[in-house]
Amino acid sequence: MSAETIIPLAAFGAIACGVWAILSIFTKNKSRANERLEELRDPGSRRRRGEGNGGKMNNMIEKAAPALSKALQPKTETEESNLKVRLANAGFSSPNAPRNFLALKLVGLIVGILFGAVYGFANMGASSNSWMAFVIGGGTGFYLPEGILTLLKWSRQQKIFLQLPDALDLLVVCVEAGLGLDAGMRRVSEELASGAPEVCHELATANMQLQMGKPRREVLHDLGVRTGVDDMRSLAAILIQADRFGSSIAQALRVQSDSMRTKRRQLAEEKAQGAAVKMIFPLVLFIFPGIFVILVGPAGIQLMDNIVNAP
């Protein structure tokens, strides 16, 4: 057998052995006594075990994440803080989110390297192009979670930006009706849970932090940082200032809601003004060729007949 045949088979065998070893390590059956002790320590473990394969997969990830993420841990507190903020902006605010994300990047790197190596050596043999596929596969697997995180972050921030004016209007009504800021945030998170889930989740998180005794200024500041939306940051700054100087919170909320609604209307008008320019490309590429064929086609056919039938 040639090297071009042996290398793909060897790579496949190595991948299969590695997957089998990982599964055998993280899927060992526990005794019933250990399961009962675990249920006493964590009452929710029985429910998680009853979720089937999804629960087992989550348990495997939780067990493997600390070891996998150790190689990619941030070196400074600034890098760690930036990673937590990026994950929070995308909606992942749990304490284990950075660890799981780094573990996912390392797993993506390994899987990308394996697939790139198998594809390169199977199709191109032991050449420079196969090593290039090796590198491209590893880079793609490593940076793919970063791209997905960026898309999730952008999508969530857009949803919060569009949902915030409606939530502020309801919050203004609640505050002017006599409710406090905490009770108004709780009522908004309950009433708009289906129409504005992202904003309601952030307000519910802030309200829970207030109930746990965290200072209101820190809660509002964390709310602006956690969302990553400029309008939410300005709202948090206005509420902090109103709380510090004792001014009317309802008036501050109303002014902020009007300014945000005006900004959203201006963005809609800007997109409407740009629609004419964007329509040029489909007109030139798809509509004008059809019109040109319809108008010029018959004349071209007659001209060709005249040329062919000319004496």
pLDDT tens across 33-47, in order? Answer: 666 666 555 555 555
**Percentage of residues of the chain with pLDDT beyond 90:** 1
Domain spans of the chain, in order of start: 158-264
Amino acid in the structure at residue 90: A
Q: What is the dihedral of CA 29, 35, 38, 40, to 10 degrees?
A: 170
Q: What does the DSSP 8-state code read for residue 76?
A: S
Amino acid in the structure at residue 18: G
Judge contact between 256 and 168, C-beta under 8 A. yes
In order, the DSSP letters of the chain are --HHHHHHHHHHHHHHHHHHHHHHHHTPPPPHHHHHHHHHH-TTHHHHHTTTHHHHHHHHHHHHHHHHHGGG--SSHHHHHHHHHHHHHTT--STTHHHHHHHHHHHHHHHHHHHHHHHHHHHH-SSHHHHHHHHHHHHHHHHHHHHHHHHHHHHHHHHHHHHHHHHHHHHHHHHHTT--HHHHHHHHHHHTTTT-HHHHHHHHHHHHHHHTT--HHHHHHHHHHHH--HHHHHHHHHHHHHHHHT--HHHHHHHHHHHHHHHHHHHHHHHHHTHHHHTHHHIIIIIHHHHHHHHHHHHHHHHHHHHHH--
Tokens representing 78 are 């600034």
Is the pLDDT assigned to residue 309 strictly greater than 80? no
How sure is the predictor about 28, in pLDDT bands with cuts at 50, 70 and 90?
A: very low
Taking residues 220-236, what's their average pLDDT? 86
- pLDDT, residue 179, reads 82
CA distance 191 to 211: 19
226 phi and psi angles, rounded to 5 deg = -65, -35
Is the pLDDT assigned to residue 220 strictly greater than 60? yes
Judge contact between 208 and 182, C-beta under 8 A. no
- pLDDT, residue 281, reads 83
- pLDDT, residue 257, reads 81
Judge contact between 122 and 8, C-beta under 8 A. yes
Domain 158-264: which topology? Receptor-associated Protein (1.20.81)
Kindly report the average pLDDT of the chain as a whole number. Answer: 78
Taking residues 218-224, what's their average pLDDT? 87
Amino acid in the structure at residue 168: L
How sure is the predictor about 53, in pLDDT bands with cuts at 50, 70 and 90?
A: very low
- pLDDT, residue 151, reads 92
Is the pLDDT assigned to residue 49 strictly greater than 70? no
Question: What is the pTM (predicted TM-score) of this model?
Answer: 0.68
How sure is the predictor about 20, in pLDDT bands with cuts at 50, 70 and 90?
A: low
Is the pLDDT assigned to residue 156 strictly greater than 80? yes
Judge contact between 79 and 93, C-beta under 8 A. no
CA distance 232 to 228: 8
Q: Range with the lowest mean pLDDT among 54-68, 92-106, 264-278? A: 54-68
CA distance 226 to 61: 25
Taking residues 280-295, what's their average pLDDT? 83
Is the pLDDT assigned to residue 217 strictly greater than 70? yes
Q: Range with the lowest mean pLDDT among 122-136, 248-262, 264-278? A: 122-136
Other Cβ atoms within 10 Å of 303 Cβ, number: 11
pLDDT tens across 167-190, in order? Answer: 888 888 888 888 888 888 888 888
Is the pLDDT assigned to residue 51 strictly greater than 50? no
Is the pLDDT assigned to residue 111 strictly greater than 70? yes
